[in-house]
Amino acid sequence: MPPFEIDEALIRRLAALLEETGLGEIEYAEGERRIRVTGRGATANLPAPASTPAAPSRPETSEEAPEDPDKQAEGAVAAPMVGTVYLSPEPGAPPFVQAGDTVDEGDTLVLIEAMKTFNPVRSPRAGRVVRVLVSDAAPVEYGEALIILE
């Protein structure tokens, strides 16, 4: 398959549509060529021909994430699933934890909503919350660092 020109205007329109609709991802296909635009950095993913494995795409990290996205920060509590993270049990309520708080093993740190189910993310050990890396109601990916414990 010969290479094709990247239609930047199309990508920009898809990214605008993504933002407008609040979707997490949008894909456009024309024949065997596909363009996928995802939220949080709007990354285009153009698969290579079937005989050549596609290079993995890297989502951009938030400004508050550790400097090196390839290294999980020591003491990080990672998201066990993809979903939307909530820092408090309900709107207007104080957050489960804040930087400087001391937690015991099993304490709820955040909630992740996935498929309309709220799943508590519990502390794997006792310690002190050094940093909360996510903001309330933000989308999170599997394995993404949520909180740093010391």
The sign one gets for the Cα dihedral 129, 133, 134, 135 is positive
Does 8 score more than 90 pLDDT? no
Dihedral of CA 23/111/100/68: which sign? negative
44 Cα distance to chain centroid: 16
Mean pLDDT over all residues of the chain? 78
Element (H, E) at 114: strand 108-114
pLDDT tens-digit series, residues 16-35: 777 777 777 777 777 777 77
Q: Using pLDDT thresholds of 50, 70 and 90, give the confidence band for residue 66.
A: very low
Strand partners, 45: 36
Return the SS3 of 52: coil
Question: What is the DSSP code (8-state) at residue 12?
Answer: H
- The correct answer on CATH 3.40.710.10 for the domain covering 76-149 is no
pLDDT at 134: 96
Give 136's pLDDT tier (boundaries 50, 70, 90).
Answer: very high
In the chain, ranges of CATH 2.40.50.100 domains: 76-149
**Residue of higher predicted confidence among 4 and 136:** 136
Residue 142: predicted pLDDT: 94
- Provide, rounded to the nearest whole percent, the portion of the chain with pLDDT above 90: 48
List the helix and strand counts (H, then E) for the chain: 1, 11
Residue type, 39: G
What pLDDT is stored for residue 29 in this prediction? 76
Say which amino acid occupies 64: E
The encoded tokens of residue 60 equal: 């951009």
pTM of the model: 0.54
Burial 66-76 (b: 16+ CB within 10 A, else e): beeeeeebebb
Give tens-digit pLDDT for 71-125: 457 899 999 999 999 999 999 999 999 999 999 999 999 999 998 899 999 999 9
